[in-house]
Structure 1
């Protein structure tokens, strides 16, 4: 048991005990965990986490015969847990199949480019009607406008998109 300078057990006495434990075991424990996980920075993080958990419970852990053994066990458990999570994640990734999807065709690229030129309100109406398959009434309700307004937006949007998609080399 530690005492402060006045000979009375106080809050600084426990802190000193913990600081001594930390100073005496951090490096050695980090080297052990580093040998296990193969990454010094990760080992330092794991050991630091173990000491953080110890300081939060120091009133209880300080009474153990070997508080360093508790910290060591926690660090090893943390390392093993991370290793298991990574192993499960790696196994999951190995089971995933790579899917090759063809790129967009020239018509899709042209339509996307044409839609980008529309004013936002016309583009939204166009997308909601032709891509999301909403009716004119549903769009009017969602946008809080009259159905005639939606019809006007769609008409203007179609005209602008058609002008963008028409090949000027083809004479009308």
Structure 2
């Protein structure tokens, strides 16, 4: 019974962060929810080992990401059709900035996107990201710099980038 209460507390404290991370990574909330649910189910099955990890939340994030990637590989055509349908839907309460950021995140490489999301949205340090994804800190730093640069290119409004914004009319 103690394990169930401990797992429930862990789940309640971490599920929104993990879901937010994965949604930002893959850009599809329903797919993110499915992968996160599967990751927590696997964590519960292995709770005795998972709770001993340095970061059980990182373990769940990693598994959720792998589940999502595996699903992508198996259902590429279905996801393409689904994304076309989702892109045509309007979502109430979503800000223009939110849509712009999610759209821009979809335009950068998966490695850069993962580093940016883990650092800026999840709040992990460079060292924590390196440990979680199994690479060195310099690689993470490079991905962050390149990812930010790529995001900036997708988030900059053309009329301002060319100097034709307010106060700069020709």
Greater relative contact order (CA < 8 Å, ≥ 6 in sequence): 2
> Taking structure 2 as the reference length, what is the TM-score of the superposition?
0.42
What TM-score comes out, normalization by structure 1 length? 0.42
Greater radius of gyration (CA): 1
Greater per-residue helix proportion: 2
